[in-house]
Amino acid sequence: MTTDNRYTSIAIALHWLIAIMLISMVFFGWYMEDLRELALSGSGVTLAEVQFAYNAHKTTGLFVLALSVLRLIWRLTHRPPGLPAGMTGWEMTVAKATHFAFYALMIGMPLGGMIAASASPFPSFLFNDPSLIIPKLPVPQTDEFAELAGSAHSAGGWAILGLTALHAAAAIKHQFIDKDGLLVRMLPFLKG
């Protein structure tokens, strides 16, 4: 149940947990790519270390997907607080589009990662446990498709960071310039 000016505790917890996981996954993805390049260059990083990192990323991605679906279900069944009365039409449009884009990324990025992993010749293991094989999706098993899927997944990381920056800037503007208490709805410990 929501009050007029605040999200539910579950919505707040899911918001911050997913946000931290998504942003961490972008930076960990870049780390994985560097790790793979180091392994291929023969600089002492083993392929087992690379596989461990990739499987950790895939496992976490599945958790992000599950939490994001749960967040979407929660959002559809629990009305969020309304937008501040002083917002202009274009601000409301951007706010709604930003939230829609976040849901698309929160669900689309893990699905895109599953597609990219399925196009790879390497197996995927849940929790790095070889007995817990993540099934591959029926996608083309070509180098070209694997490259395309991987590039699209990587581009999504930039979209996450850009959208996060926009979202954070808007929240800060509303809280400290407009002084409409918008940020307090997701950070209840702040004073209005």
- Domain residues for the domain of 95 are 9-185
- Give the pLDDT confidence score for residue 1 in this predicted structure: 33
Question: Does residue 151 lie within any of the structural domains?
Answer: yes
Q: State in Å, rounded, how far the first CA of the chain is from the last one.
A: 20
Q: How many domains does the chain have?
A: 1
Identify whether 125 is part of a domain. Answer: yes
Whether 190 is covered by a domain: the verdict is no
Could you tell me if residue 4 is inside a domain?
no
With beta carbons less than 8 A apart as the criterion, state whether 184 and 175 touch.
Answer: yes
pLDDT digits (tens, 9 = 90+) for 27-39: 999 999 999 999 9
Q: How far apart are CA 24 and CA 43, in angstroms?
A: 25
pLDDT digits (tens, 9 = 90+) for 55-75: 999 999 999 999 999 999 999
User: What per-residue string of b and e applies to 134-165 under the rule 16 or more CB within 10 Å gives b?
Assistant: bebeebeeeeeebeebbeebeebbebbeebbe
Give domain status of residue 2, yes or no. no
**Residue 192 included in any domain:** no
**Token pair listed for 65:** 């997907």
Asked if residue 191 is part of any domain, the answer here is: no
The answer to whether position 15 is within a domain reads yes
pLDDT under 50: residue ranges of the chain: 1-3
pTM for the whole structure? 0.91
